[in-house]
Structure formats: C-alpha cells, structure tokens
Amino acid sequence: MQSMLAPSVHDSSAPQGDVDDVVATVVSHQRVNAEYNLLVLAAQAPACNAVAGQFFNLECPSDGDDQPFFRRPMSTYKADPVRGEVEFLYKVTGAGTRGLATLNAGDEMRILGPLGHGFTLDPAWKNIVILGRGVGLATLAPLAELAAANGVGVTAIISARGPEQVMSVERFSALGARIETVLDSDGSSAPDNVEAVLRALHGQGYADALFTCGSNRLMLLMQRLGAELNIPGQVAMEQHMACGLGMCFCCVRNFKVGDKVDSRRVCWDGPVFDLQEALSW
Amino acid sequence: MVVDLSVNVGGLKLANPVMPASGTFAEGLAGVIAFDSLGAMVTKTITAELRGGNPTPRVAEVRNGMLNSIGIPSKGITYFLEQTLPFYRQFNSPLVVSISAPTMDAFAEAAALLDVDGIAAIEANISCPNIEEDGKAFAMNAVSTSQVVTRLRAATSKPIWAKLTPNTGDISSVARAAEEAGADALVVANTILAMSIDIESFRPTLGNIMGGMSGPAVKPILVRMTHQCAKAVRIPIIGCGGISTTEDAVEYMLAGATAVQVGTATFLRPKAMIEIIAGLSTFCARKGIGRVAELTGAVVELDMEMSASEALP
C-alpha cells in the first residue's frame, strides 16, 4: 500500500551544532516521583552544548528479558557546558526505559547527540507561554531557561493527572516564571479551563508566543488559539525513531504547509516544528 | 604489519571493503564519521518519480533485529542530481547510487539519467521487499532478474551492482541470471520479508503490515546465501545482512564476499563502519594476512563424509 501523500519537499539546514557518539558516565540517577527518574550524565562537548529542544539517541542497557535493540530518543532536560553534564528526565514505560532505570552512578553508556533542531526565540518576543504535560515538561524546561537568559518572561502552565505528578515547578520558579498548575484530579486541566487561562494570559500581554510538548489535546488547543489570536508557536514532537540522523526515514510525520501535506523527519527536520504546521499526533 | 585493505569490485577499486547498505546512510552521518574513510558511499534508493513512502509506524524492533517498511520515499532523480549529488562530490570515496523503479523500462530510464560524472556505479535495487504489494520484487525469480538487468546493461555504461533478495527459493539461479545479463557485481542481499504483531493491541507493528527484517538475527541466513552465490557466479559479491562487527565482516568475506555493506548497525552505532575498517587491519595483521582480499572465499570446505549411522539420530 502506498501513501497518497505528497513526498517531502521540505529541506532544512543541518541541525545546529556538532554531534558525536560518545561514552557518557552516570553522575547520578534518582527517582523524582512514582513514575519519573532523573539521569545526570557526565559528557563533554558537544553533548553538554545541547540547546533547548534538542535530543539524544541513548543506548539503553539490556536487563533480563528487556533487550532493547534500538537506541531510544530522549530530549534533554538540562545541558550544562560548564559542568560538562547533560540530564534526562524520563518515565519508565518499556524495555528501553526499564533498561535505563538499571543504571547506577559510575556506569557508562553511549549517547549520540545533540540531535535535531531545538526551540528558537524571536528577539521581538517579551513574554512566552509554555504548556506542557508529563514528560513533555522535560523538553520544555530548558526552553524556560533559554528564555530567561534572553530576558524573556515565561508563564509555565503545568498539566498533570494529580498533584503528585506535577514536576519541574522548582526549575520554572527559579527562573522567575509565572506558574499555573492544571490538574485532571480537580478538573482544571479540562480544555475549556486551559483555554480560558490562555486567553487571559493573552489579554494581559503575556503570550507573544506559545510552546508545547507532550499532549495532542493541548497542542490542538494551542494551535486553534494561536491561529485565532495570531500568536506564533512551536511544538516539540515525537515519533518512532531508529537512527536519529535523518538516514532511515522511520520517524516521518505529516505537516500542513499551505494547502499541501508535507512529510518530514522528526529527527532531522525537527523535533521542534511550527505549531501551525503540525498535524495531530 | 601494513595490511592492504583495497579490493576490486567489478573493476571498481575500493580503498577498503566496507561501505554502507542503501537506506542506512545519508548526509547526516557526515557529522559523525569521515566519509572519505569508507570504501564506498551508497545512497538511499532513489526513483525517477516522486514517492511518499509507506504509512507509519515504519519501524519495529524484534530480538536482535529490526523490521522496516519505509517504502522508498524519493524526491526524484532530477532533485538528486541537482541537490544531493553536489554534496557527495566533495568526498573522494566512490559514490554508488541505488535506484528502483516500478517497471523494467523505468529502471533502464533511471539508470540512463544517472550516467553523469561523480557516480561510480549503479546499485539496482531489484529486491526491496515492500516496494510492491505482498513484497513482490524482480529478483524473486531468475527470468525477471535477467530481463531487468539486461535492460539496465543496455542503458548505462556505469558498473551495475544487482541487489538481490533473500525472498526467493533459489538465489543461486537468480545470481547466475544477473551475471549472465551483465551485472558487474551482486549485493547479497536485501532484507527478509517479515512481520510482527503487538499482542497487546492485536495490531501488526508496522503500518504496512509486512516489512524487511535486518540486524544480527538475519546474519547466518545471508552468510549462507553469500556462500551459495559466490559458488554460482564469477562476479564479485558484496555481502550484506546483520554485519555489525569486524568478525561479521570477516565471516562474510570467508563465505565469498569481496566487500561488505553495513546497514542496521549504523543506526545503533554510527561509527560501526569505521570501527570495522580498523578491525579488519588488526585482524589481518594478527593472522599474518597481507591483503584483506585474501579472505574472499577462503572458507575451508569440510571434507568429511558422514556414515549413515552417524547421520541419523
């Protein structure tokens, strides 16, 4: 069966910065809550030069019956060129992440990166809104730091099932970000409420641009509001991936460009894309 | 001990016998390895027409291997000549362009369009298992292989490497057909038609249901086919299938391969080809072998007859 979609005509320049496959050493590995772990790796440049929104292809250890064949793509939670470290916040969901969870301080692992195109900030923007859910927050946290470093105000809307799943508040707070927490448990994460929050932020001049990751529902909401209110935006996307270097064409997604549908590689052309061009996950 | 890694593939001299398998190599890898270190560069398969490729998911992992159903997305040969070829011309390693087409005549037309400087050989992908419905491919039988290679031979003066499929009952006959029709070398082989099912969702793991299997799990099958083809033809064989280490490459050469293609391993270790090239030197030096080409077909045939009583349990 052949897809009836038009072939990709999208060409982006090579992803930003150098890339290498290096052996990194686990500095620390801690459980953040019942579902998420924080992995801190010592890795010199270019790994520690990763910018917000870029990702790595991680070689996950085998553990018992779990023998992940592919590497696992994972966005950077933090990269620190001064300390020579790169961090990953992840949820244990399958063979790859279960293998990752077995790593201890001092262990070594191969990491390929930094990969892909990260978030970009327009110098004209004074205030941005970040809306994330689950592990999507791991991708968005470095963006908040990039914004703060550029004197851009951040409002972080953190969506979670319940208060125990709320993460990264300290990261965003430390940057002076305004924080709105919306939860499934009290109904505040319902689309109508999130939309009201976004409209209010826009009315107050806090939404020069919109950023999201981790939820199709929230992406579609932001996309609709962005189109209606003429607010630019960016979304970090995910897809099954093998190589991370644009070679295998496994990780394609469809995007709307004008009245055409365009197939793009998430690893090479993204993972950050224009919010208005993204189609449903 | 300085080991001569050079090999001759159908008149094309390569500095070493290691190259990428089509579909596992692209411009992005240049950020991680030096392309001039490779024996050759092999492009992803291109077609004359624009193609969108298969639905997602296009990839699934299995134990010690992967399934893919990419579907040969292509921007077309005109785009390749104008936009992609200049990138590869900056490197010294020979460039092999993999092509595919829906018909034999279209195959020949595609080859003719690529008769330009900067292309060292044409790899005819007559074997992609998911290019047509139910995995049909020209290389599944000797007759259609002969017909398509004959047309290709008439269409281009470039060396033709015919990439065979393991999805045939008699690969030796197909190999002979390709040789007799004028192929300069054989790539043995493409991926093995396969399928897997997610038992939680009850759905096939690939959007296209079936796909090609590759990776370490398929290596013994393709080593066997390399050996069979090497015995059937005189033209060089380029072994391909599950090669991820120096030892794998040596095994293929002993089975009869003159050169090897590294595919899936590059997805897992982007520097795999470079490591294998270095490893071949080390291996040959350790074995006192001055030229890596001496490994080709050097498998020692067992010369023992089993008695009937020994053969039966």
Nearest to B267 among A9, A68, A70 (CB): A70
What tokens appear for B50 in the block?
């624009």
Token digits for A229? 């209110």
> What pLDDT does A3 receive?
35
Whether the CB of B269 is below 8 Å from some CB of chain A: the reply is yes
DSSP annotation string for B218-229? GHHHHHHHHHHH
Q: Answer whether A252's CB lies under 8 Å from A265's CB.
A: yes
CA dist A210 → A20, A131, A145, A229, A273 (Å): 31, 8, 15, 11, 12
More confident residue, A257 or A267: A267
In angstroms, the CA B218 to CA A187 distance is 51
Q: Taking CB atoms and an 8 Å limit, are A249 and B25 in contact across chains?
A: no
Q: How many residue pairs bridge chain A and chain B with CB atoms within 8 Å of each other?
A: 126
Contacts of A270 (CB under 8 A, 6+ apart): A116, A117, A236, A237, A253, A264
A281 pLDDT above the threshold of 80: no
Surface of B (201-240) touching A: CB under 8 A: 208, 215
pLDDT score of A63? 87
- Range A276-281, long-range pairs (CB < 8 A, 24+ positions): A276/A223, A276/A226, A276/A227, A276/A232, A276/A233, A278/A219, A278/A223, A278/A235, A278/A237, A278/A253, A279/A253, A279/A254, A279/A255, A280/A216, A280/A219, A280/A220, A281/A216, A281/A219, A281/A237, A281/A238
Find out whether B239 and B171 touch, Cβ atoms under 8 Å: no
pLDDT of amino acid B253: 98
Task: Kindly determine whether residue A3 and residue B32, on different chains, have CB atoms separated by under 8 Å.
Answer: no
CB-side exposure of B131: number of CA atoms within 13 Å?
25
B128 catalytic? Reply is yes
Nearest to B94 by CA among B184, B7, B13: B13
Instruction: Kindly list the residues from chain A whose CB atom is less than 8 angstroms away from the CB atom of residue B208.
Output: 1
Lookup: tokens for A41: 């790796």
The pairing of beta strand B203-204 with beta strand B197-198: antiparallel
Question: In the prediction, which pLDDT does A9 show?
Answer: 34
Q: Which residues in chain B have their CB less than 8 angstroms from residue A68's CB?
A: 61
Residues (pLDDT < 70) of chain B are 129-135, 303-313
Q: What is the pLDDT of residues A42-57, one digit of tens each?
A: 999 999 999 999 999 9
User: What residue has token string 């620190």?
Assistant: A80
Banded model confidence at residue A35, pLDDT cuts 50, 70, 90: confident
Phi, psi of B86 (to 5 degrees): -60, -35
> Tell me, what's the pLDDT at B302?
72
pTM for the predicted model, two decimal places: 0.92
Q: How far apart are CA B273 and CA B244, in angstroms?
A: 8
Nearest to A33 by CA among A136, A189, A172, A167: A167
Q: Which residues of A touch B29 (CB under 8 A)?
A: 245, 247
A214-238 mean pLDDT: 94
Neighbour order of strands in the sheet with B59-62: B59-62, B65-68, B211-214, B192-194
Q: Give residue-wise pLDDT tens across range A73-103.
A: 999 999 999 999 999 999 999 999 999 999 9
Residue B266 near chain A (CB below 8 Å): yes
> Are B176 and B185 within 8 A, CB to CB?
no
Residue with tokens 């790539």: B187
> What is the amino acid identity at position B182?
G
**Distance in angstroms (rounded) separating the CA atoms of residues A70 and B86:** 32
Closest CA to B194 of B53, B56, B67, B55: B67
What three-state secondary structure class fits A79? strand
Burial B207-242 (b: 16+ CB within 10 A, else e): bbbbbbbbbbbbbeebbebbbbbbebbebbbbbbbb
Q: Which residue has the tokens 């020069």?
A: A208
Rounded to 5 degrees, φ, ψ at B4 are: -85, 110
Contact B73 A110 (CB under 8 A): no
pLDDT digits (tens, 9 = 90+) for A106-163: 999 999 999 999 999 999 999 999 999 888 888 999 999 999 999 999 999 999 999 8
Helix then strand count (H, E) for chain A reads: 6, 15
Q: What ranges in chain A are assigned the alpha helix state H?
A: 95-100, 136-149, 169-174, 191-203, 216-229, 266-269
Q: Answer whether A225's CB lies under 8 Å from A201's CB.
A: no
DSSP A227: H
| Phi/psi-derived region of residue B144, left when phi > 0, alpha when psi is between -120 and 50, beta in every other case | alpha
Instruction: Bin A53: left if φ > 0, else alpha if -120 < ψ < 50, else beta.
Output: left
For chain A, give the percent of residues with pLDDT over 90.
78
Q: Which of these, B34, B49, B22, lies nearest to A248 by C-alpha position?
A: B22
pLDDT range class, residue A166, cuts 50, 70, 90: confident
Helix axes B272-287, B246-255, angle to 10 degrees: 60
Pair of tokens at residue B212: 């090609």
Does pLDDT of A202 surpass 80? yes
Query: Rounded mean pLDDT of chain A?
Result: 91
The residues, any chain, with a CB within 8 Å of residue B304's CB and separated by 6 or more, are none
Return the pLDDT at A7. 36
pLDDT (0 to 100) of residue A13: 55
ipTM of the complex: 0.91
**Counting runs of H as helices and runs of E as strands, what totals does chain B give?**
10, 16
User: Tokens 């932001």 — which residue?
Assistant: A222
> Percent of chain B scored above 90 by pLDDT?
88
CA distance A177 to chain B (A): 36
What integer pLDDT is reported at residue A214 of this predicted model? 85
Q: What pLDDT is recorded for position A8?
A: 37
Answer whether A70 sits within 8 Å of B61, measured CB to CB: yes
The encoded tokens of residue B159 equal 């060396």
pLDDT at A10 over 70: no
Chain B residues whose beta carbon lies within 8 Å of the beta carbon of residue A5: 52
